[in-house]
Amino acid sequence: MNAVADLDMPPWTPPAESLRLRFCGMDFASPIVLLSGCVGFGEEYTRVAGFSNRDVGAVCLKGTTGSNRLGNKPHRVYETPMGMLNAIGLQNPGVEAVVSKILPALDFTETRFIANASGSTIEEYVEVVSRFDDSAIDAIEINISCPNVKEGGVTFGNDPDMSARVVAACRKATSKPIITKLSPNQTSIQDNARRCIEAGTDAFAVINTLMGMAVDVRTRTAMIGNRQGGLSGPAIKPIALLKVAQVYEVAKPHNVPIIGQGGIVNANDALEFLIAGATAVGVGTALFYDPLICPKINAGIADYLVANNMKSVSELTGTLKGTHGHW
C-alpha cells in the first residue's frame, strides 16, 4: 500500500469482528464494497493518507474490456443536485494489461478484489471472463447494465433474454464467483434476476446507475459529451432500495446474495440496504468527497448491532417488516 506515511495519522483500527461476513465463499472484513469506476484499478485511494483497503470487504476494479478503450469524449463527469452524472465510456487498458500488469501489483492479503467484465458482444464478455478466470482475481462482476456506452451495456442489461445469455456464456467460461450487476432501467428487475439465477449467477449487484442528462442553457448543449450518462449518488437511493428489496424476494429462495448500492453516504444508508435484503453494501460516489468514509460507516453499523443485541451484520439482511404484499 502506498498511503502517505509521513503524516501524524492515528493508528489503524480493524473493523469490528461483528462486521465480518461470507460472500460467495469469500471472507469479507466488512460489508463495504468499493464500487467499480470509483477507485480505478485499486490503486487510486491507497495514495490518500489514512485510507486502508483493510477497512472494506472487497474492491471492485474498473470496468475492463477485451481491448483497450479511450472512453467517451469530454465532458465525462458533471455534478448534479444530490448526485453525479458520469459517462467515462469504459476507458481501460484492456484485459491482458489488467491481468499481467495491474493485478500483480495489488495486495491480495488486504482485501478481496473483484474484476468488472464489460463488452459489446457476448463473445467479448467471454473473452474477458476467460482471461480473468486464469488470474488471481477473487470474483468477477458482469457489467451488463452500463448506461454510458453506446453499444452493449444497456441493450444487454434491459433485456432478460440477453442478460441470461451473457450470464450463461460467462458461467461456462469461469469457475470463479459471478456477480451480475443489474440495471434499474428496465421493465421488471425481478424477471431479469430470475433469468440470471437460472443462467448461473452467484450473486447480484443492485443497482447500476440510472440514465440521465444535464443541459447547458447558455449553449443549449448537453453538459456530458456523450449526451447521456449514469446518475449516481444520494438522489437515486430510494430507487435503489426498492430494487434491492424486489430482487431479494427473488434471490432469497436460491441463497443468492446481493450487494446493495446507490447513494450510500453514511451508516444509516448502509443499514437501510442491509435491512432491505443486501448482504453487502457498495460505496462509490461518496468516496469522491470523503475518501475516509468507510471506517465511519463501519463504526456506525457496528454500534447499531451492539444496540440491537446482534452479533453479526449478517443477522440484519432481509429483516424488513411488513412485506407481505406483492411489488
User: Which CATH entry fits the domain spanning 17-71+92-213+229-316: 3.30.470.20, 1.10.1780.10, 3.40.50.1000, 3.20.20.70?
Assistant: 3.20.20.70
DSSP string computed for 257-325 = -EEEESS--SHHHHHHHHHHT-SEEEE-GGGGT-TTHHHHHHHHHHHHHHHTT-S-GGGGTT--SS--S
What is the SS3 assignment for 133?
A: helix
pLDDT score recorded for residue 187: 87
pLDDT in tens, the chain (327 residues): 444 444 566 788 999 999 999 999 999 999 999 999 999 998 777 778 888 899 999 999 999 999 999 999 999 999 999 999 999 999 999 999 999 999 999 999 999 999 999 998 899 999 999 999 999 999 999 998 654 444 555 566 788 999 999 999 999 999 999 999 999 988 899 999 999 999 999 999 999 999 999 999 999 999 999 999 999 999 999 999 999 999 999 999 999 999 999 999 999 999 999 999 999 999 999 999 899 999 999 999 999 999 999 999 999 999 999 855 666
The catalytic residue positions are: 146
pLDDT score recorded for residue 46: 72
Closest CA to 91 of 75, 77, 70, 73: 70
193: buried, middle or exposed (CB in 10 Å: 19+, 13-18, 0-12)? buried
212 close to 232: Cβ distance less than 8 angstroms: no
Burial readout 148-181 (b: 16 or more C-beta within 10 A, e: otherwise): bbeebbbebbbbbebbbbbbbbbbebbebbbbbb
